[in-house]
A and B are shown apart, each in its own frame.
Chain A
């Protein structure tokens, strides 16, 4: 039986009918073909599927599509500027070499943005604690931490000037 849902994805209204057990991660990947959101596990352990729901980081494999009725969902595609430039967090990841294979990266970037906007992130230890829900097997996290420290400065400077 289909469940009708209406939500905003990356700023655009989406109307769909989904199976009641469709996960948000599958809905984004399979129905909307937004394949930047990755699935790395089946126990909500890896964080590769992290997106923003109503402005906060959420593991989209742990939410039913039907649960986000009426809410704003933002994926990695949604935070990417259309002009070919990068969000300050994306830019910092590139400049600090905070990614290797790239598979955990979209989820890591979405978590990191949430951390900078809503969580304690002034020290290396706080950033490590704040990113503990996202697994990366390639980088050893060091350059990710460096990137978040750098992006936090850019994002805060951007907020003050705007």
Chain B
């Protein structure tokens, strides 16, 4: 029921996927049941660090309904889970890459690490049998704290005696030091970027089946990138032939990064499905999601900003310690380096930047990308620092930003990126208008009359999206390409199926991609179907993360459409008895230029499949084209956010009263979907700023291991967001002019919230506060300042 009409691009078309989701007809991994399926349960370590002296599985093997019990010893010959990005230390040595076993081998290194897999006829039987496994643990001292990990006597891995995975740096340290020696003012800050647990509402799940008939495997799994999961699993871990494994990521219920990685669970299930001879299904309980999904953030940073007398930024010096957790997850190593340090210029023309990053191992769950991945950490640091500098220099924070904005593009930063386009002053001006600054003084007075402190905070974020040119990524250590693939299959009746390597887990690709294809081919969105998430259907794909789907995946689709049109012109030229060059394609019709002689798109499609009158000597029948697209640069979405809070000094409770956003995503295909992405990102950013924080005890027990202990934002925790899409500066290097919008909200909002709280608390002398700004923490800060 699409009431939408062409042109579809730029229009808020209702989503094609919504009918099935709204009626309960979505097919998520746990909804899929296979004939004769059995059930898996993972026995997880209750200890953060322990040597396994012995595992006795006899009782479990004999328990009712048990089909198999497997431990690390059974997986001899199986490789470790690989890390996809090699980072080199300052001294040129490669990062430490201890084996990341599928099932623990001799030692456990975090609470929740998988020790054994039990397969049984039912979930209840598998769980009951797992409880009968007797593991003899010799408990070892733990390393938990990020900042002090490198100074601990205990080593998480023998290969890294000081717990350091790598010490990496970017920028010109000497030039930065020289600039600091000339500075009129230096602003310093120590910042903790709090560790987060992603918590997509759909828990991870998998269902693995082995077929003896053709010696092949089928895996249904909650993945953002099924081809990558298959490649890593077959080539690096299990040693299976890639073409004999089909990975299907059906409807996926949110991911936010946490479903990018190849995890131990699905790998173990694929391996065990052949041994058991039955499909094995496993669905994480929420407590398992907390323990064993890759976490996010967890940085401790000291930073210094050097300014001249006029408040112009001279240099930025940053030292960050980043927690990798117990093992390197798939993209862990590139998050605090390639996706963090390279964004430290922010929107500012700071001439010299140096950043050193020490990545450490700890006895905690692996840490990897979570919505924004490195860029929120960079944005939070820069925007807190700028606001602190403004306060110290008594310059209006918006004015200080304007003085330092990059004004000319392209702009090469001192940390490796070249921004192609942007207009930072414009988004700041627009958000200032949207935020009703004129009324602020009156609102502040009204708050004061109620005994509340009102504050306002800014954030001007930038992110690098559309990852990435493969050759640049490769030079920086990526062990994979970062292109995307698309295929257009035109059916004889002119209907179109599109196959994309991007994966939708809430982003609405079925709608957005249809809009593009429908417009370009001059057909209805109802005549376009989008297929994704199945290695058995889609030729290849790198998947969805880093706000790359439209900029990279959408461009691949567009290039395939161009090939369809080019071939269609040749077919039409034959049918119209004209030269190829005389045929143009517009509004779904092939027409001889300057005449009314034409063929409809569907007529040409039919001719391609019923080639009775067809140039068979020059042209193959059929109408089906593939394209791969490797972008020449990142894209650089940017924007400005303003947050206004009220703080109750008696209780420390923070209420967000107003939140305004102006984002420049370049061209926008579906404004409704894009605004929805901003809403969701801002909600997660506010979650980080006010509510969410992962805590481990000193013994490495996860203290925030359930939705009762870890606060996700609920409807009544959040304000109405005043979101505006700026007119935008189109990306200069992809044909759609798009930049990506999935992570912006989560990147831009935490500093805006924290700057607002610190502005509110400034009159009583609070100058620093870490996230999450819970009532207790704010109350403590107020008490400490008053002492």
Query: Quick check: A94 and B15 within 8 Å, CB to CB?
Result: yes
Interface positions, chain B 16-62, Cβ under 8 Å from A, are: 17-28, 30-31, 33
Query: Quick check: A45 and B708 within 8 Å, CB to CB?
Result: yes
* A103 vs B720: C-alpha distance when bound (angstroms): 23
Chain A's nearest CB lies how many Å from the CB of B360?
A: 29
Contacting residues, chain B, for A70 (C-beta < 8 A): none
In the complex, what residue of chain B is closest to A142 when comparing beta carbons?
B679
| Cβ of B256 under 8 Å from chain A | yes
Query: Quick check: B23 and A40 within 8 Å, CB to CB?
Result: no
Q: Which one of B305-313, B315-323, B570-578, B680-688 contacts A?
A: B680-688
- The winner among A77, A80, A125, A141 for most chain B CB atoms within 10 A is A141
Query: Quick check: A140 and B253 within 8 Å, CB to CB?
Result: no
Contacting residues, chain B, for A132 (C-beta < 8 A): 714-716
Chain A's nearest CB lies how many Å from the CB of B113?
A: 20
Query: Quick check: A137 and B679 within 8 Å, CB to CB?
Result: no
* A104 vs B708: C-alpha distance when bound (angstroms): 18
Interface positions, chain A 21-61, Cβ under 8 Å from B, are: 29, 33-43, 45-46, 48
Chain B interface residue count: which class? 35 or more
In the complex, what residue of chain B is closest to A91 when comparing beta carbons?
B22
What secondary structure prevails in chain A residues at the interface with B?
Answer: loop
| Cβ of B201 under 8 Å from chain A | yes
Query: Quick check: B676 and A143 within 8 Å, CB to CB?
Result: yes
Q: Which one of B392-400, B420-428, B500-508 contacts A?
A: B500-508
* A100 vs B505: C-alpha distance when bound (angstroms): 8
| Cβ of A119 under 8 Å from chain B | no
| Cβ of A152 under 8 Å from chain B | no
| Cβ of A135 under 8 Å from chain B | yes
Query: Quick check: A138 and B24 within 8 Å, CB to CB?
Result: no
Interface positions, chain B 214-234, Cβ under 8 Å from A, are: none
A138-B506, A139-B676 known; A93-B18 Cβ under 8 A: yes
Contacting residues, chain A, for B507 (C-beta < 8 A): 100
Chain B's nearest CB lies how many Å from the CB of A103?
A: 3
Cross-chain pair count, CB within 8 angstroms: 176
Chain B's nearest CB lies how many Å from the CB of A29?
A: 8
| Cβ of B200 under 8 Å from chain A | yes
Q: Please pick, from A38, A93, A134, A145, the residue contacting B253 in the complex, using a CB distance under 8 A.
A: A38
Q: Please pick, from B201, B713, B715, the residue contacting A103 in the complex, using a CB distance under 8 A.
A: B201
Chain B 719-743 interface mask (CB, 8 Å, partner A; 1/0): 0110000000000000000000000
Chain B 75-118 interface mask (CB, 8 Å, partner A; 1/0): 00000000000000000000000000000000000000000000
Query: Quick check: B706 and A100 within 8 Å, CB to CB?
Result: no
Query: Quick check: A141 and B256 within 8 Å, CB to CB?
Result: no
Query: Quick check: B715 and A77 within 8 Å, CB to CB?
Result: no
Query: Quick check: A135 and B712 within 8 Å, CB to CB?
Result: yes
Query: Quick check: B30 and A39 within 8 Å, CB to CB?
Result: yes
Contacting residues, chain A, for B26 (C-beta < 8 A): 36, 102-103
Query: Quick check: B22 and A99 within 8 Å, CB to CB?
Result: yes
Chain A's nearest CB lies how many Å from the CB of B709?
A: 9
* A23 vs B23: C-alpha distance when bound (angstroms): 22
Query: Quick check: B707 and A46 within 8 Å, CB to CB?
Result: yes
Query: Quick check: B506 and A129 within 8 Å, CB to CB?
Result: no
Q: Please pick, from B287, B681, B707, B715, the residue contacting A131 in the complex, using a CB distance under 8 A.
A: B715
Contacting residues, chain A, for B720 (C-beta < 8 A): 124, 142
Query: Quick check: B15 and A97 within 8 Å, CB to CB?
Result: yes
Contacting residues, chain A, for B684 (C-beta < 8 A): 137, 140
| Cβ of B202 under 8 Å from chain A | yes
* A144 vs B508: C-alpha distance when bound (angstroms): 16
* A125 vs B745: C-alpha distance when bound (angstroms): 23
Query: Quick check: A102 and B715 within 8 Å, CB to CB?
Result: no
In the complex, what residue of chain B is closest to A30 when comparing beta carbons?
B33
| Cβ of A122 under 8 Å from chain B | no
| Cβ of A136 under 8 Å from chain B | yes
| Cβ of B294 under 8 Å from chain A | no
Contacting residues, chain B, for A131 (C-beta < 8 A): 714-716
Chain B's nearest CB lies how many Å from the CB of A90?
A: 4
Query: Quick check: B199 and A43 within 8 Å, CB to CB?
Result: no
Query: Quick check: A140 and B679 within 8 Å, CB to CB?
Result: yes
Query: Quick check: B23 and A42 within 8 Å, CB to CB?
Result: no
Query: Quick check: A101 and B682 within 8 Å, CB to CB?
Result: no
Q: Please pick, from A86, A104, A124, A128, the residue contacting B23 in the complex, using a CB distance under 8 A.
A: A86
Contacting residues, chain B, for A136 (C-beta < 8 A): 201, 715
* A142 vs B672: C-alpha distance when bound (angstroms): 12
Contacting residues, chain A, for B505 (C-beta < 8 A): 101
Contacting residues, chain A, for B718 (C-beta < 8 A): 128, 140-142
Chain B's nearest CB lies how many Å from the CB of A73?
A: 14
- The winner among B17, B253, B283, B681 for most chain A CB atoms within 10 A is B253
* A135 vs B681: C-alpha distance when bound (angstroms): 15
Contacting residues, chain A, for B19 (C-beta < 8 A): 86, 94
* A104 vs B718: C-alpha distance when bound (angstroms): 18
Contacting residues, chain A, for B31 (C-beta < 8 A): 29, 35
* A35 vs B25: C-alpha distance when bound (angstroms): 8
A102-B506, A137-B680, A140-B683 known; A76-B201 Cβ under 8 A: no
Chain B's nearest CB lies how many Å from the CB of A26?
A: 9
Interface positions, chain B 167-206, Cβ under 8 Å from A, are: 199-203
Contacting residues, chain A, for B287 (C-beta < 8 A): 42
Contacting residues, chain B, for A48 (C-beta < 8 A): 201
Contacting residues, chain B, for A142 (C-beta < 8 A): 679, 718, 720-721
Query: Quick check: B716 and A128 within 8 Å, CB to CB?
Result: yes
Contacting residues, chain B, for A128 (C-beta < 8 A): 715-716, 718
* A132 vs B712: C-alpha distance when bound (angstroms): 11
* A36 vs B506: C-alpha distance when bound (angstroms): 16
Query: Quick check: A34 and B24 within 8 Å, CB to CB?
Result: yes
| Cβ of B336 under 8 Å from chain A | no
Query: Quick check: A137 and B254 within 8 Å, CB to CB?
Result: yes
Query: Quick check: A40 and B708 within 8 Å, CB to CB?
Result: no
| Cβ of A15 under 8 Å from chain B | no
A139-B679, A140-B721 known; A43-B14 Cβ under 8 A: no
- The winner among B12, B202, B721, B745 for most chain A CB atoms within 10 A is B202
Contacting residues, chain A, for B286 (C-beta < 8 A): 40-43, 45-46
Q: Please pick, from A42, A127, A134, A137, the residue contacting B706 in the complex, using a CB distance under 8 A.
A: A42
Contacting residues, chain B, for A113 (C-beta < 8 A): none
| Cβ of A95 under 8 Å from chain B | yes
In the complex, what residue of chain A is closest to B198 when comparing beta carbons?
A137
Contacting residues, chain B, for A129 (C-beta < 8 A): 715-716
* A135 vs B714: C-alpha distance when bound (angstroms): 6
In the complex, what residue of chain B is closest to A101 when comparing beta carbons?
B506
Contacting residues, chain B, for A40 (C-beta < 8 A): 201-203, 253, 286
Query: Quick check: B254 and A37 within 8 Å, CB to CB?
Result: no
Query: Quick check: B200 and A102 within 8 Å, CB to CB?
Result: no
Query: Quick check: B24 and A76 within 8 Å, CB to CB?
Result: yes
Contacting residues, chain A, for B682 (C-beta < 8 A): 140
| Cβ of A109 under 8 Å from chain B | yes
Q: Please pick, from A29, A77, A105, the residue contacting B21 in the complex, using a CB distance under 8 A.
A: A105
* A45 vs B199: C-alpha distance when bound (angstroms): 12
Contacting residues, chain A, for B712 (C-beta < 8 A): 135, 137
Q: Please pick, from A93, A103, A137, A140, the residue contacting B22 in the complex, using a CB distance under 8 A.
A: A93
* A142 vs B25: C-alpha distance when bound (angstroms): 24
Contacting residues, chain B, for A77 (C-beta < 8 A): 23-24
| Cβ of B673 under 8 Å from chain A | yes
In the complex, what residue of chain B is closest to A125 when comparing beta carbons?
B716
In addition to A40-B203, A101-B202, A131-B715, 4 A-B residue pairs with Cβ atoms within 8 Å of each other are: A43-B706, A80-B24, A101-B505, A142-B721
**Residue contacts A-B, CB under 8 angstroms, 24 given:** A36-B25, A40-B286, A45-B708, A100-B507, A101-B200, A101-B201, A101-B254, A101-B506, A103-B28, A103-B200, A103-B201, A103-B202, A105-B21, A125-B716, A128-B716, A129-B716, A131-B715, A137-B199, A137-B680, A138-B676, A138-B680, A139-B683, A141-B683, A142-B720
Q: B interface vs A, CB < 8 Å?
A: 12, 14-15, 17-28, 30-31, 33, 199-203, 251-256, 283, 285-287, 505-508, 672-673, 675-676, 679-684, 706-708, 712-716, 718, 720-721, 745
Which 10 A-B residue pairings sit nearest by Cβ, starting from the closest?
A36-B24, A102-B21, A103-B253, A140-B683, A101-B506, A45-B707, A100-B506, A140-B679, A76-B24, A35-B31
